[in-house]
């Protein structure tokens, strides 16, 4: 038996690894990762290759429990109160409307048409109502990870985005609580027990004990996170605590049934989400906890989604596809009505009225996790229920991110980087701030063949200079920057206050796409992370001298070269623009013997260069050598 289990587990691991690679292929053709994993699972399951026979799936159920714990931890970790306060009124109304309108409308419609749904039509009326209610609850679930991915991709920020993210996180927490109530009710009804005062007392007891156990789990999670041990050991500790919740819940259920004649059912998802909420909001371990989950989650999701796919029948999936499409449309309609009601109730801007539903379409881990619980508990109809929900989730994964992106664009809260302009043959440098350092920098750049301009927002008497131009501008606005011809700038240097530097850098990022934006940092911590997030190169004067001396001590020759102290040698960054160079290796270029390539940067990644490194159009190559030879090579690569 043990040998068979080890073989089964090893086989599943191989399938999961294959699923991860197949999923990457799906991503290249713009399909979500989850689709590739589920399809891999279907192929490996009993429908096709039978690598994972259906009768062996219960032996792998512990992997489901492990994954569900991490999914709940991840949902709770997103529920960070400090980030929700600024839009609390909008979040409150939108969450309430999405929760109640989606659940009630979906439940009512599905129940009314349940006689037309094959697996529901032979069920008693009360069972059909319960199934419809469970559909309605799961329809509300959302995917925080998908929302974050879209927000990061679009660099979205603003009231609409903040509300969307807040609602997404709060909804998942409330859905798990609502699911716990509905799931307990469903078990009571299906087992022909009475929904009386005793049921309410035990339900309240179950939820209360789950809540307090969640606090205990939060304290337990704090222990490994507080220790100065290897991250891998901490991650294992988090996994064991999460799985331990499921083991303990099952132990309590079985023991209380024997001792009291009635099961006390702890809700592991609720316990884990409360434990995660506690760590996130009431300890100093939030950042490390989130980082650990980000490292653990990809592997866990591969296992979970692949195992879910393996439990599906392809034939059943095809049979219920029309139901899934109908339910998908029902879900969108209910969310549309809920979104309008939420905007009107919160008195948000009217431009959000018809797009307020779009951020909440995508579903993933939480919805699938709840569905797995239903499938395992209600074997008579749970399998068909699970198959329909999975089909809906796949559709949501395809359409949801696109709709969210459209809504962000309509709300005008996208801050994507503007595409960089083509090189015009002139090295332009725009320096913001008129002072001794900016003048000295302009003079040095002029000597190196650049064309510098200094922009000032102060009143000046003399606006011309023999070596470079000094331009007076009214203010820091898109209008004013538009008059400065920034489109062709190869480098922008900001020597103003941190607030002014960030404002300029952000406008340049969004509207001009200049590759090199250099900012002198003045110590305002609130702007440091913002500047980092838009790819600005930051120079901290308080550390610059120390770093410079450090480099002189450790590598005096290289430092002298890079600082231009050796008049005969130079170092430059060159972008490959010559189409004839594309695809050639460094060894085939036959550079002068007094020129070396220090590095090659491709799409932001530094490559360790050697003779067989192939250059691509758009690569940035750092050259070091005598001035004449470097200039000749630069011309060869750029022209």
Helix (H, G, I), strand (E, B) or coil at 224: helix
Cβ-contact 97, 339 below 8 angstroms: yes
Residue 463 has pLDDT above 60, yes or no: no
Taking phi first (over 0 means left), then psi (-120 to 50 degrees means alpha), and beta for anything else, what does residue 462 get? beta
Which residue has 């607030």 as its token pair?
Answer: 499
Helix (H, G, I), strand (E, B) or coil at 610: coil
Phi, psi for 52 (deg, rounded to 5): -120, 90
How does residue 326 score in pLDDT terms, banded at 50, 70 and 90? very high
Give the mean pLDDT of 496-507.
Answer: 88
Give the mean pLDDT of 495-524.
Answer: 84
The predicted structure's pLDDT at residue 466: 67
Helix (H, G, I), strand (E, B) or coil at 434: coil
Q: Which two tokens stand for residue 629?
A: 């030879």
Total Cβ atoms within 10 A of residue 333: 15
Q: What percent of the chain has pLDDT over 90?
A: 7
258-273: pLDDT as tens digits: 887 777 878 888 888 8
Q: How far is Cα 71 from Cα 290, in angstroms, rounded to an integer?
A: 12
The predicted structure's pLDDT at residue 144: 72
47-65: pLDDT as tens digits: 777 777 777 777 777 888 8
* β pairing state of 516-520 and 491-494: parallel
Q: What is the mean pLDDT of the chain?
A: 81
Torsion from C-alpha of 291, 292, 295, 298, nearest 10 degrees: -110
User: What letter would DSSP give residue 54?
Assistant: G
The predicted structure's pLDDT at residue 282: 87
Which H or E element spans position 595?
strand 595-602
Treating both helix axes as pointing N-terminal to C-terminal, what angle do 382-410 and 365-377 enclose, rounded to 10 degrees?
Answer: 170
Residue 329 has pLDDT above 90, yes or no: yes
Lowest mean pLDDT among 1-15, 161-175, 258-272: 1-15
Q: How far is Cα 162 from Cα 156, in angstroms, rounded to an integer?
A: 9
Residue 588 has pLDDT above 70, yes or no: yes
Upper half-sphere CA count for residue 524 (Cβ side, 13 Å): 13
Higher pLDDT, 530 or 424: 530
Q: Residues 149-185, buried b or exposed e (16+ Cβ, 10 A)? A: ebbeebbbeeebbbbbbbbbbbbbbbbbbbbbebbbb
Give the mean pLDDT of 495-503.
Answer: 89
Cβ-contact 620, 593 below 8 angstroms: no
Delineate the domains of the chain, giving CATH numbers in brackets. 2-410 (1.20.1530.20), 428-539 (3.40.50.720), 568-638 (3.30.70.1450)
- Alpha-helical (H) ranges within 260-320 are 268-282, 286-310, 314-319
Kindly report the pTM of this predicted structure. 0.66
Nearest to 12 by CA among 35, 42, 34, 44: 44
Which residue has 């750029």 as its token pair?
Answer: 638
Residue 322 has pLDDT above 70, yes or no: yes
Who contacts 206 (Cβ-Cβ below 8 Å, separation ≥6)? 180, 184, 264, 265, 266, 267
Helix (H, G, I), strand (E, B) or coil at 266: coil
Give the mean pLDDT of 232-237.
Answer: 87
User: What letter would DSSP give residue 587?
Assistant: G
The predicted structure's pLDDT at residue 111: 92
The predicted structure's pLDDT at residue 1: 46
Who contacts 510 (Cβ-Cβ below 8 Å, separation ≥6)? 415, 416, 417, 418
Higher pLDDT, 21 or 440: 440
Q: Residues 248-259, buried b or exposed e (16+ Cβ, 10 A)? A: bbeebeeebeee
Q: Which two tokens stand for residue 563?
A: 């600082």
Q: How far is Cα 609 from Cα 596, in angstroms, rounded to an integer?
A: 10
User: What letter would DSSP give residue 585?
Assistant: B
- Alpha-helical (H) ranges within 85-196 are 88-112, 125-140, 144-154, 159-190
Give the mean pLDDT of 105-131.
Answer: 89
Give the mean pLDDT of 10-16.
Answer: 77
Sheet containing 605-607: which strands, arranged edge to edge? 569-575, 620-626, 595-602, 605-607
User: What letter would DSSP give residue 416?
Assistant: P
Which residues make beta-bridge pairs with 574?
A: 621
Q: Which two tokens stand for residue 164?
A: 């969307």
Higher pLDDT, 220 or 31: 220
* β pairing state of 491-494 and 595-602: unpaired
Who contacts 6 (Cβ-Cβ below 8 Å, separation ≥6)? none
Give the mean pLDDT of 372-386.
Answer: 84
Q: How far is Cα 300 from Cα 72, in angstroms, rounded to an integer?
A: 12
How does residue 106 score in pLDDT terms, banded at 50, 70 and 90? very high
Higher pLDDT, 564 or 339: 339
The predicted structure's pLDDT at residue 330: 93
The predicted structure's pLDDT at residue 334: 92
The predicted structure's pLDDT at residue 464: 55
Nearest to 166 by CA among 100, 79, 272: 79
Nearest to 250 by CA among 71, 386, 376: 376
189-234: pLDDT as tens digits: 887 777 777 778 877 888 888 889 989 999 998 888 888 888 888 8
Q: How far is Cα 139 from Cα 100, in angstroms, rounded to an integer?
A: 11
């Amino acid at each position: 038996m043990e040998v068979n289990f080890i073989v089964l587990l090893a086989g599943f691991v191989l399938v999961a690894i294959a699923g991860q690679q197949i999923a990457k292929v799906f991503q290249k053709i713009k399909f979500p990762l989850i689709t590739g994993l589920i399809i891999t699972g279907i192929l490996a399951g009993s429908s096709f290759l039978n690598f994972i026979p259906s009768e062996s799936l219960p032996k792998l159920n512990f992997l489901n429990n492990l994954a569900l714990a991490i999914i709940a931890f991840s949902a709770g970790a997103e529920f960070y109160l400090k980030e929700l306060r600024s839009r609390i009124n909008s979040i409150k109304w939108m969450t309430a409307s999405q929760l109640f309108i989606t659940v009630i409308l979906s439940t009512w419609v599905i129940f009314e048409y349940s006689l037309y749904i094959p697996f529901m039509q032979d069920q008693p009326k009360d069972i059909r109502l319960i199934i419809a209610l469970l559909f309605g609850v799961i329809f509300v679930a959302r995917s925080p990870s998908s929302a974050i991915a879209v927000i990061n991709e679009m660099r979205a920020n603003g009231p609409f985005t903040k509300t969307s993210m807040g609602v997404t996180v709060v909804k998942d927490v409330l859905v798990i609580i609502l699911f716990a109530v509905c799931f307990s009710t469903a078990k009571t009804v299906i087992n022909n027990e009475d929904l009386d005062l005793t049921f309410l007392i035990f339900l309240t007891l179950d939820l209360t004990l789950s809540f307090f156990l969640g606090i205990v789990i939060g304290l337990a999670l704090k222990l490994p996170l507080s220790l100065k041990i290897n991250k891998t050991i901490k991650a294992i500790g988090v996994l064991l605590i999460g799985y331990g919740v499921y083991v303990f819940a099952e132990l309590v259920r079985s023991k209380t049934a024997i001792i009291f004649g009635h099961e006390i059912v702890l809700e592991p998802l609720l316990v884990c989400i409360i434990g995660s909420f506690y760590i996130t909001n009431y300890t100093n371990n939030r950042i490390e906890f989130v980082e650990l989950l980000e490292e653990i989650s990809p592997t866990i999701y591969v296992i979970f989604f692949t195992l879910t796919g393996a439990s599906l029948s392809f034939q059943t999936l095809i049979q219920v596809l029309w139901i899934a499409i109908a339910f998908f449309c029902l879900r969108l309609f209910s969310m549309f009505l809920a979104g309008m009601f939420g905007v009107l109730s919160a008195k948000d801007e009217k431009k959000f009225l018809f797009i307020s539903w779009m951020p909440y379409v995508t579903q993933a881990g939480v919805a699938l996790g709840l569905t797995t619980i239903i499938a395992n508990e209600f074997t008579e109809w749970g399998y068909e229920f699970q198959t329909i929900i999975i089909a809906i989730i796949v559709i949501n994964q395809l359409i949801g991110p696109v709709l969210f992106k459209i809504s962000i664009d309509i709300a005008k809260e996208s801050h994507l980087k503007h595409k960089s302009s083509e090189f015009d043959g002139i090295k332009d440098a725009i320096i913001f701030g008129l002072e001794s350092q900016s003048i000295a920098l302009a003079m040095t750049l002029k000597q190196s063949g650049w064309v510098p301009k200094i922009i000032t927002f102060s009143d000046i008497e003399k606006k011309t200079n023999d070596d470079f131009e000094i331009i007076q501008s009214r203010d820091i606005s898109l209008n004013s920057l538009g008059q400065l011809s920034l489109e062709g700038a190869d480098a922008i240097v900001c020597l103003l206050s941190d607030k002014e530097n960030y404002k300029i850098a952000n406008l340049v990022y969004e509207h001009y796409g200049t590759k090199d934006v250099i900012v002198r940092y003045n110590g305002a911590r609130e702007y440091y992370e913002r500047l980092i997030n838009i790819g600005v190169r930051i120079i901290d004067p308080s550390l610059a001298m120390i770093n410079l001396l450090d480099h002189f001590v450790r590598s005096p020759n290289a430092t002298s070269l890079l600082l231009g102290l050796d008049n005969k040698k130079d170092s430059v960054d060159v972008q490959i623009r010559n189409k004839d160079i594309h695809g050639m290796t460094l060894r085939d270029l036959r550079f002068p013997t007094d020129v070396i390539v220090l590095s090659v940067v491709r799409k932001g990644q530094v490559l360790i260069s050697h003779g067989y490194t192939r250059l691509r159009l758009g690569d940035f190559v750092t050259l070091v050598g005598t001035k004449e030879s470097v200039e000749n090579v630069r011309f060869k690569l750029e022209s």
